[in-house]
Amino acid sequence: MGRRVLLRGGRVVDPAAGRDEVADVLVEEDRVAAVGPGAARAGAEILDCEGLVVAPGLVDLHAHLREPGFEHKETIETGSRAAAVGGYTAVAAMANTDPVADHVAVIEEVRALAARAGLCDVFPVGAVTEGMRGEAIAEMGEMAEAGVRLFSDDGRPVPSARVLRIALEYAKAFEATIASHALDPDLAEGGQVREGYWSATLGLQGIPAEAEEVAVHRDLAMARLTGGRLHLCHLSSARAVELVRRARAEGVRVTAEVTPHHLALTEEALASYDANLKVMPPLGSAEDRDALRLGLLDGTIDAIATDHAPHAVEEKEAEFDQAPPGTIGLETALAVVLTELVEPGVLTLARALEAMSTAPARILGAGDHGGPIEPGRPANLVAFDPGATWVVEPPFASRSRNSAFLGRTLRGRVVHTLLRGEPTVAWGKPTR
Amino acid sequence: MVGRKDVLDLNDFTAAEIEQVLRTADAMREILTRPIKRVPALRGKTVVNLFFEPSTRTRVSFELAAKALSADVVNISASGSSVEKGESLVDTVRTLQALGADVVVMRHSQSGAPYLVAQQVQASVINAGDGWHAHPTQALLDLYTIRDKLGRLEGLRAAIVGDVLHSRVARSLTFGLVKMGAEVTLVGPPTLIPPEAPQWGAQVSYDLDAVLPKLDVCYLLRVQRERQRQRFFPSVREYARRYGLTRERVAALPEGCLIMHPGPMNRGVEIDSDVADLPRSVIEEQVTNGIAVRMALLYLMLGGAGEGGGA
C-alpha cells in the first residue's frame, strides 16, 4: 500500500462540488481516496487542518515565468516555487519569452523545465502571432496538438482586428481560446498611468479607460463574428465590464479575468511615484474597482488571475517612465483576495475560490485541477489559514520582489500545497 | 520650511511656508545689492547641480545662489536617462552623496525622478524641474515677483496661458497662487488643458480675449515645439493667432497687469517681440529674483535653524 495522508478536520470548500463543511480529506498516492467526516484510515500520516480551509489547488491563468530569455527576473523553477507558496498547483505561463513561445520547441522546453522543478503544473500559453509581431498567426495547430489550449500575445494587443479575426476563427478547429490583452495601442501609446486627475497632477502621460473600452469592444465584435472563444485578460475599467456583461447575455463565447491589484488598489496610490504600482493596464478609479468586484460577483468576470510580472530590482528602481510595468502576484494573490474581498464581505469564500481555481481550470482546460475534491480525482489541494496575518516583504520565493503590496499587512497564509498528493509546500515552506 | 529635507513640489507647502520663503528672499535680495554679494551662511556645505536636461537660467541661478551663501558648488550635466547612461539614477546620486553633497539640485526630463532619489539618499533634494510635473523654485520666484510688483497675492487674478498639459511651471504656479489666495484661470486650446484642472482650484478658459480685461497677471507658457509632432494644435501659426500675446491683446489688458514668462521665450509665437520688452513685462525681474528665492530656500533648508537644519 502506498503513501496515505489525512488532512484532518479542515473546512473543505470545494466550489466544483458545492461543498463547504468541516471534513477530512484522505489522499492515497496521487489521488483523493475519501472525503467526509471520519475519512480516517489506518496508517495515514495526519496533517492537522483544524482552523484551516482545504480547497482545490489554485489555478493561475496569467503568469509571466520569464524563461527562456529573462532568467534574471524569474525562472520556471523560481516562478513555480512562488506559485506553490501561494497555493497554486497550476499556472499558465505567458508566451512573451525570448524566444517567444510561438512554436512547439519553446512549449516543450517550458514543459520540461517545469517538470524538472516539479513544484507546479505549468501550462505554456502559445503566442497568437509569429514572434508576437501581430502580423501572421503562429502555428497554433501544432501547438494545440502539443496540448496548448490558450493562445495570447499578452504584453501587447493584437493590433489588427483582421488578424484577431483569423486567429479566433482558426482556433475553432481545436477549440482553443484566444486571450487578449485588450488595449488600443494608439490611444495607450507612451502612457504610464490611467488618465485622469492623478495623471494630470503627477505630470505622467495617461492612458484613458477608453483605450480598454475600444479594444474590448473590437475583440467582442470579432468573437461574435467568428463564434470563436475569446478570453479577456486583466480587465481594469467599469465600461469594459459592462461590455462583457452585455456580450455574454447575447451569447458571445467570452470569458474574462481580473487581477488582485485591480481589485484592491486604485490610482491615487501612485502619488508616491512608486514604480511597483506601475502596472499594465494601469490602476483605475474607485468606481472601476467597484465595478470589477461586482463583475466578479455576478459572474461577468470568471477568474482572478495574477498577471505575475517579475522584474529585477534595478529595472524597477528607475524613473517611473523607464520602469517596466508589472507586479509579482503569485505569493500574495490569495491573501489579497481574502483580506480585501472575502473578509469585508464583498465575495463569499466559495466564490473567491471558484474564481481562483475552478473557473480558471475550466478556461485553461486543466482537468486535473480546480476540483471537485472527490475520490479518484488527482490530489491537487491547498490548505490555508484564513486568519494568519503577515507582512508582505522580501524574501520572496520569486526571484523578483516588485510587489505592489510591499509593506502591507495581509490575512491568509498557505500552510500546505499538494501537487498530485506530493507536498510542494509543507507548514508554509516550500519542500524543495 | 526650516528642517524640510527636500523640496519636491509646491503642492505640499503650506501658505505659511511659502510666506516664510518669500520673506527670507527679501533679505537675500538685499545681500545681492551689496558691493560684495556674499555671506558665509553655508560655508563648508556642498551643493551639486545635477541636470539631466539642458538648462541655462535655472542652473546658473542655483549656482549663483549657492555661491552667494559661500557654499561649494559642483555642476554636473548628465545627458539622457539613467538607462542610456548605464549607471542608474539612484547610483549616480548615491555617488554624489558619498562625495559629500549636502544638497542635490536636480533637473530631470521625467516626472517623479526626484522622488525616487529623495527616498534613497540622506542628502537634501531640490527639484529644479521634473518632466511635466513640478518646478517649485520657478513658482516661488514667480510668486515673489508678483508680490514685489503688486504688493500682494491674495485676491489677484492671474491667467496662465498655453500648454498646461505638458508644463511643470503651470502646475507648480497654479498650486502656489491658489494656496496664496489668488484666482487662476488656465487658458489654452482644449487639447492642452487637462480636463481635471478645476480640481486644482483653477478655472479654465479656451478664449484668451475673454479673459484679458480682468487680469492682474498674464503669464505665458513656452510653446514646446517638440510637442508639435503629436499635433495637439494644427500649426504654430494658428496657435500664435489664437493664444499669442500680441500688441493688440496687450491693449485689452488693464493698466497695471504684469506680463510674465518663465523663459526661454519664443518671440513671435506665445509673445510678440515688442510685448516682451514693454515696461509692464517683468520677465527679467523674474530671472533676477530667482537668485534671491533660491538663496532663501538653500538657507532655510541647510542653515536656517543655525544647526545645519538639513536632517
User: Could you say which DSSP state residue B183 is in?
Assistant: E
CB atoms within 10 A of CB A415: 23
SS3 A90: strand
Interface test with A, best of B6, B83, B93 (most A CBs within 10 A): B83
Closest CA to B93 of B126, B57, B117, B119: B117
The answer on pLDDT for A159 being more than 80 is yes
The answer on pLDDT for A152 being more than 90 is yes
The answer on pLDDT for B82 being more than 60 is no
Longest dimension (CA), chain B: 56
Query: How do residues B284-308 score in pLDDT, each as one tens digit?
Result: 999 999 999 999 999 999 875 444 3
CB atoms within 10 A of CB B29: 18
If phi > 0 it is left, if psi is from -120 to 50 it is alpha, else beta; for residue B267 that is: beta
| B132 contacts A203? CB cut-off 8 A | yes
Question: Could you say which of 3.30.9.100, 1.10.3720.10, 3.40.50.410, 3.40.50.1370 is the CATH number of the domain covering B10-135+287-303?
Answer: 3.40.50.1370
Interface test with A, best of B111, B135, B230 (most A CBs within 10 A): B111
User: Could you say which DSSP state residue B234 is in?
Assistant: S
B107-146 burial, b for 16+ CB within 10 Å, e for fewer?
Answer: bbbbbbbbbbbbebbebbbbbbbbbbbbbbbbbbbbbbbb
Catalytic residue among A307, A321, A368, A385: A307
Query: How do residues B40-53 score in pLDDT, each as one tens digit?
Result: 999 999 999 999 98
- CB of B232 within 8 Å of any CB in chain A? no
- CB of B200 within 8 Å of any CB in chain A? yes
**pLDDT value, residue B205:** 98
| B132 contacts A204? CB cut-off 8 A | yes
Q: Averaged over A324-330, what is the pLDDT? A: 98
**Residue A336 binned pLDDT confidence (cut-offs 50, 70, 90):** very high
Considering CB atoms only, which of B89, B131, B171 is closest to A318? B89
- List, in order of start, the domains of chain A with CATH numbers: 4-54+376-430 (2.30.40.10), 57-364 (3.20.20.140)
Which residues in chain A are closer than 8 Å to B82, comparing Cβ atoms? 318-319, 322
Give the chain A residue whose CA is nearest to the CA of B83. Answer: A322
pTM over 0.90: yes
E strands, A1-95, are 4-14, 19-28, 31-36, 45-48, 53-56, 58-63, 88-93
How far, in Å, are B83, B125, B306 from residue B97 at the CA level?
A: 20, 11, 22
SS3 content of chain B, % helix, strand, coil (to 5): 45, 15, 40
- Which residue would you say has higher pLDDT here, A347 or A1? A347
Closest CA to A219 of A237, A238, A233: A233
E strands, A57-109, are 58-63, 88-93
Q: Averaged over B85-93, what is the pLDDT? A: 81
Distance, in angstroms, between A316 CA and closest chain B CA? 11
| B82 contacts A320? CB cut-off 8 A | no
The answer on pLDDT for B311 being more than 60 is no
How far, in Å, are A67, A69, A71, A136, A308 from residue A74 at the CA level?
A: 7, 10, 5, 29, 10
Considering CB atoms only, which of B88, B111, B120 is closest to A204? B111
| B88 contacts A314? CB cut-off 8 A | yes
What number of C-beta contacts closer than 8 Å exist between A and B?
67
Task: Give the ipTM.
Answer: 0.90
The answer on pLDDT for B96 being more than 90 is no
**Residue A140 binned pLDDT confidence (cut-offs 50, 70, 90):** very high
**Which helix (H) or strand (E) covers residue A351, if one does?**
helix A349-353
Segment among A118-122, A291-295, A364-368, B118-122 with least mean pLDDT = B118-122
| Cα gap B232→A312, rounded to integer Å | 36
**pLDDT value, residue A42:** 80
**pLDDT value, residue B87:** 79
Query: How do residues A190-201 score in pLDDT, each as one tens digit?
Result: 999 999 999 999
- Give the β-pairing of A19-28 and A31-36: antiparallel
Same topology, domains B10-135+287-303 and B136-283? Answer is yes
Give the chain A residue whose CA is nearest to the CA of B92. Answer: A318
**B61, HSE (Cβ side, Cα atoms, 13 Å):** 23
Cα B155-B161-B163 angle, rounded to 5 deg: 135
Verify whether residue A307 is a known catalytic residue.
yes
Query: How do residues A238-252 score in pLDDT, each as one tens digit?
Result: 999 999 999 999 999
| Cα gap B105→B256, rounded to integer Å | 35
Query: How do residues B170-209 score in pLDDT, each as one tens digit?
Result: 999 999 999 999 999 999 999 999 999 999 999 999 999 9
**pLDDT value, residue A227:** 98
Give the chain A residue whose CA is nearest to the CA of B165. Answer: A200
**pLDDT value, residue B305:** 47
Domain B136-283 has what CATH class?
alpha beta
**pLDDT value, residue B84:** 58
Position of cell 503577515?
A390
Which residues in chain A are closer than 8 Å to B194, comparing Cβ atoms? 199-200
Distance, in angstroms, between A278 CA and closest chain B CA? 13
Considering CB atoms only, which of A200, A203, A273 is closest to B196? A200
Distance, in angstroms, between B12 CA and closest chain A CA? 12
Query: How do residues B241-274 score in pLDDT, each as one tens digit?
Result: 999 999 999 999 999 999 999 999 999 999 999 9
Query: How do residues B207-217 score in pLDDT, each as one tens digit?
Result: 999 999 999 99
Start-end of H helices in chain B: 15-32, 57-68, 82-85, 89-98, 113-120, 136-150, 168-179, 208-211, 236-243, 247-252, 273-276, 283-298
SS3 A233: coil
Work out the mean pLDDT of chain B and round it to a whole number.
Answer: 92
Q: Is A294 exposed, middle or buried (0-12, 13-18, 19+ CB in 10 A)?
A: middle
| Domain boundary assignment for chain B | 10-135+287-303, 136-283
